[in-house]
């Protein structure tokens, strides 16, 4: 497929603004996302809005409420993803492009709502969140470079996600999904060969991917996971341990992706798919050359059921045991 650079730079996407879920039990969903580290913005018995440190939002409404978009064909309670754009000019460009071949509705707040070529409910609005500020981040020591001196490394009692970095879906036709988003201005980062999966980023310069589309085994469209960025690998571990102690189940991890280089820890989301803590993703520019991978490169390494903590009832190995290797 051929796409012009002019098209891919025409619409300035900023990131994932909002995701919307339905829920049979709004209070349970509120507790889960609060344990995850999101801040409650507002809500009651029928709906709740929680936000990351940057201000992007997770909206949960009662699943039989009148304001929810329909379920995807896969049947989970995920309902919609809303992408942020830089200005009203970009929003108008998105509306014009979508209106060429599909219905587009604008709500009273100016958010556009439509459906993509995979059947995913998508929205677009002007980004109004906080701007990312440069951060020195955690100092790591390495051979020949001792950046952390007379100071202990960070330990996190829990995570406070900064933003939603990417979202992933099962789709019946990955190539059709890629074509739709590249038509809007997304950039190709990498693929799995044969239409198995594609990694797309919403800007020429940005994280390795903001959207990941995977081939559905049963032909249905549904959520796979939503990824929340935290500061460093220590916060991935601290957040995962806290979420585990709060009673939520690991799906896979912690571990590290060779594609994107990010550390991860996935947990099951009872509303649909998974939620992921991640940190340290690759950052790409137009000079990046996409690769068509033929072998599964999900992880460089990963654990399958989380981490067993000291003090959780599991005996610590003794020094004598470690020395004998038994």
Residue-level pLDDT at 77: 98
Q: Is residue 76 part of a domain?
A: yes
Identify which of 265, 211, 296 has the alpha carbon closest to the alpha carbon of residue 36: 265
Residue-level pLDDT at 310: 55
Q: Is residue 116 part of a domain?
A: yes
Q: Is residue 314 part of a domain?
A: no
- Number of folded domains in the chain? 1
132-165 residue pLDDT tens? 877 777 889 999 999 999 999 999 999 999 999 9
Range of the domain at 267: 12-129+160-302
Q: Is residue 41 part of a domain?
A: yes
Residue-level pLDDT at 324: 41
Residue-level pLDDT at 15: 96
Q: Is residue 98 part of a domain?
A: yes
Residue-level pLDDT at 311: 52
Of 134 and 171, the structure prediction assigns the larger pLDDT to 171
Mean pLDDT score across all residues of the chain: 91
Residue-level pLDDT at 316: 42
Give Cβ neighbours of residue 227 (< 8 Å, ≥ 6 apart): 164, 165, 166, 167, 168, 264, 275, 276, 277, 278
Task: Quickly state the pLDDT bin for 131 (edges 50, 70, 90).
Answer: confident
Instruction: Please report, for the domain that includes residue 298, its CATH number.
Output: 3.10.180.10
Q: Is residue 72 part of a domain?
A: yes
Q: Is residue 145 part of a domain?
A: no
Residue-level pLDDT at 67: 83
Determine the average pLDDT of the residues in 297-317: 71
Q: Is residue 78 part of a domain?
A: yes
């Amino acid at each position: 497929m051929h796409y012009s650079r002019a098209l891919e730079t025409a619409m300035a996407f900023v990131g994932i603004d909002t995701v919307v879920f339905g829920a049979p039990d709004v209070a349970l969903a509120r507790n889960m996302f609060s344990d995850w580290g999101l801040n409650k913005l507002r809500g009651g018995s029928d709906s709740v809005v929680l936000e990351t440190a940057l201000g992007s939002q997770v909206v949960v409404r009662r699943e039989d409420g009148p304001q929810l978009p329909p379920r995807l064909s896969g049947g989970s309670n995920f309902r919609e993803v809303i992408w942020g754009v830089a200005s009203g000019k970009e929003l108008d460009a998105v509306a014009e492009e979508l209106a060429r071949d599909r219905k587009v509705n604008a709500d009273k707040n100016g958010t556009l709502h439509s459906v993509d070529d995979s059947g995913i409910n998508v929205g677009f609005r002007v980004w109004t969140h906080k701007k990312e500020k440069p951060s020195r981040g955690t100092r790591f020591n390495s051979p020949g470079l001792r950046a952390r001196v007379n100071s202990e490394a960070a330990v996190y009692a829990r995570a406070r996600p900064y933003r939603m970095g990417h979202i992933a879906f099962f789709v019946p036709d990955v190539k059709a999904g890629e074509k739709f988003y590249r038509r809007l201005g997304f950039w190709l980062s990498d693929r799995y060969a044969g239409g198995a999966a594609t990694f797309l980023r919403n800007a020429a310069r940005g994280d390795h991917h903001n959207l990941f589309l995977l081939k559905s085994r049963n032909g249905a469209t549904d959520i796979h996971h939503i990824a929340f960025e935290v500061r460093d690998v220590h916060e991935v571990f601290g957040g995962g341990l806290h979420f585990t102690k709060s009673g939520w189940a690991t799906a896979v991890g912690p571990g590290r992706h060779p594609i994107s280089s990010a550390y991860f820890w996935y947990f099951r989301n009872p509303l649909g798919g998974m939620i992921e803590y991640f940190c340290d993703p690759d950052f790409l520019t137009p000079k990046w050359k996409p690769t068509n991978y033929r072998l599964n490169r999900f992880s460089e390494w990963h654990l399958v059921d989380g981490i067993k903590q000291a003090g959780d009832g599991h005996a610590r190995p003794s020094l004598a045991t470690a020395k004998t290797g038994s």
